[in-house]
């Protein structure tokens, strides 16, 4: 580049991304004076678009997210792709993310595959390996034999074959996970008897419901598996999330596989990744509703949620708990708790934020209320 020197000059004034953008658009043979003029203009625009000192960015972000939020429909489910896989979106999902809720209403994983598989090879096997198989999936029928107080589980041969499980494995799994009962293979079915004495009807019914959910095979937590084609590659969508176990599988491309569980990402990839996921998930919800919120507002929220090194929800157990002002905490839910503990500890409130000053009828320290005098007046005697 010809004008390297001039660009260098501006490096301290304008962020690098803007300089490289200017480089891309400016014609090769631009004169030095013209380039300077361009860069000055860019600098002016850049400075103009910065938030002014005292600008109340938090309130503006809150209003900018809250106002379109009122237009969100309560039409919460939308179908990922073709099949019946439900994804929670809209307002409930937004609240779920912002609250920092640990159990999600619908966990979704998007698994990208390595080369031969992504082209469509052995997809059946991939699906069979991924999906969590419980005993209920492998059984045709459960008969309750009240006379001998036992259950008879009739195994489904086709299902066994499909998921590559043999009946002996099923027996092993059952013996390991259910202790109080004996399991015996009788031809094509499994007989279940109480280990000691006779089981009554209620016990048998409870056992029957329990047995249906016993884990046998596949990745734990992956409830539903769906293969979809996205831009000439096969991608597996899963209901349920288990990042750790999925990553271990050799056909999974670990660089692109995603989950929508923020806490799982935080656990395995750290807080910065969690912050990025919060931004993405929130933007996806907002875009999905056809609303328009600037990403910077979302970023501020995500930063706030992650600034302590762990993901905190925007509620009294999360970021509000971390506020330094007692009055501010007390004004937001459970006031007595905060006031009494502040009294016990002899805490003091510096009255440095908005809510406290509204309570005291003092100018709030934002906007026009922020600047003060540099020269201190002498104290009257």
Tell whether residue 15 is a contact of other proteins (CB under 8 A): no
User: How many residues does the structure list for the chain?
Assistant: 381
Q: Whose Cβ is closer to other proteins: residue 91's or residue 113's?
A: 91
Question: By CB under 8 A, which span of 16-24, 97-105, 272-280, 366-374 interacts with other proteins?
Answer: 366-374
SS3 content of the chain, % helix, strand, coil (to 5): 45, 15, 40
Structure tokens given for 156: 């489904």
Tell whether residue 17 is a contact of other proteins (CB under 8 A): no
Half-sphere exposure of 220 (CA within 13 A, CB side): 6
Q: How far is the CB of 224 from other proteins (least distance, A)?
A: 17
Q: How far is the CB of 79 from other proteins (least distance, A)?
A: 21
Q: How far is the CB of 374 from other proteins (least distance, A)?
A: 11
On the 0-12 / 13-18 / 19+ scale of CB atoms within 10 A, 10 is: middle
Q: How far is the CB of 309 from other proteins (least distance, A)?
A: 29
Which positions ≥6 away from 355 have C-beta within 8 Å? 325, 327, 328, 331
Query: Which listed residue (28, 56, 79, 290) binds other proteins by CB under 8 A?
Result: 56
Q: Whose Cβ is closer to other proteins: residue 290's or residue 363's?
A: 363
Planar angle of CA 94, 310, 60, nearest 5 degrees: 45
Query: Which listed residue (2, 59, 185, 295) binds other proteins by CB under 8 A?
Result: 59
Structure tokens given for 299: 């970023």
Tell whether residue 51 is a contact of other proteins (CB under 8 A): no
- DSSP structure class, residue 293: -
Question: By CB under 8 A, which span of 11-19, 57-65, 245-253, 308-316 interacts with other proteins?
Answer: 57-65
Closest CA to 214 of 150, 156, 138: 138
How far apart are alpha carbons 173 and 156 in whole angstroms? 17
Q: Whose Cβ is closer to other proteins: residue 271's or residue 339's?
A: 339
Q: How far is the CB of 284 from other proteins (least distance, A)?
A: 26
DSSP three-state, residue 211: helix
What character string, x for contact with other proteins (CB under 8 A) and - otherwise, covers 303-342?
Answer: ---------------------------------x--xx-x
Q: How far is the CB of 358 from other proteins (least distance, A)?
A: 6
DSSP string, 142-209: EEEETTTTEEEEEE-HHHHHHTT--HHHHHHHHHHH--SEEEEEETTEEEEEESSS---HHHHHHHHH
Query: Which listed residue (63, 84, 99, 287) binds other proteins by CB under 8 A?
Result: 63
Which positions ≥6 away from 336 have C-beta within 8 Å? none
Residues 327-336: contacts with CB within 8 Å, 24+ apart? Answer: 327/351, 327/355, 327/356, 327/359, 328/353, 328/355, 328/356, 331/355, 331/359
Question: By CB under 8 A, which span of 101-109, 234-242, 299-307, 358-366 interacts with other proteins?
Answer: 358-366
What character string, x for contact with other proteins (CB under 8 A) and - otherwise, covers 173-202?
Answer: ----------------------------xx
Query: Which listed residue (205, 272, 294, 310) binds other proteins by CB under 8 A?
Result: 205
Considering only residues 127 to 166 of the shown chain, the ones binding other proteins according to CB under 8 A are 141-144, 146
Residues that bind other proteins (CB under 8 A): 54-56, 59-60, 62-63, 141-144, 146, 201-202, 205, 336, 339-340, 342-343, 348, 354, 358-370, 373, 376-377, 379
């Amino acid at each position: 580049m010809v004008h390297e020197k001039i660009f260098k000059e501006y490096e301290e004034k304008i962020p690098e991304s803007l300089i490289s953008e200017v480089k891309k658009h400016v014609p090769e043979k631009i004169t030095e004076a013209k380039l300077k003029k361009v860069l000055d203009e860019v600098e002016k625009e850049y400075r103009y678009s910065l938030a002014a000192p005292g600008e109340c960015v938090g309130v503006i972000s809150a209003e900018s997210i809250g106002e379109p939020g009122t237009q969100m429909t309560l039409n919460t489910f939308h179908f990922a792709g073709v099949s019946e896989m439900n994804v929670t979106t809209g307002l409930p999902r937004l609240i779920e993310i912002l609250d920092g809720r640990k159990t999600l209403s619908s966990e979704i994983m998007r698994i990208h595959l390595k080369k031969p598989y992504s082209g469509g090879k052995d997809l059946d096997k991939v699906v069979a390996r991924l999906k969590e198989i419980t005993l209920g999936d492998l059984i045709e029928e459960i008969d309750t034999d009240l006379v001998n107080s036992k259950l008879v589980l009739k195994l489904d041969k086709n299902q066994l074959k499909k998921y590559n499980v043999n009946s002996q494995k099923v027996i092993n799994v059952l013996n390991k996970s259910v202790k109080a009962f004996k399991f015996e293979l009788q031809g094509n079915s499994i007989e279940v008897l109480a280990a000691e004495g006779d089981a009554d009807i209620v016990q048998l019914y409870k056992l029957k419901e329990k047995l249906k959910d016993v884990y046998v095979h596949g990745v734990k937590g992956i409830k539903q598996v769906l293969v979809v084609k996205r831009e000439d590659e096969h991608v597996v969508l899963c209901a349920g999330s288990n990042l750790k176990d999925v990553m271990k599988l050799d056909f999974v491309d670990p660089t692109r596989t995603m989950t929508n569980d923020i806490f799982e990402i935080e656990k395995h990839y750290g807080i910065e990744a969690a912050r990025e996921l919060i931004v993405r998930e929130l933007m996806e919800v907002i875009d999905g509703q056809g609303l328009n919120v600037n990403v910077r507002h979302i970023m501020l929220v995500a930063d706030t949620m992650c600034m302590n090194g762990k993901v905190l929800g925007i509620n009294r157990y999360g970021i509000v708990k971390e506020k330094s002002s007692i009055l501010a905490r007390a004004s937001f839910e459970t006031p007595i708790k905060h006031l009494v503990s502040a009294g016990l500890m002899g805490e003091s409130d510096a009255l440095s934020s908005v809510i406290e000053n509204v309570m005291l009828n003092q100018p709030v320290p934002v906007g026009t209320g922020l600047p003060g005098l540099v020269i201190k007046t002498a104290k009257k005697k």
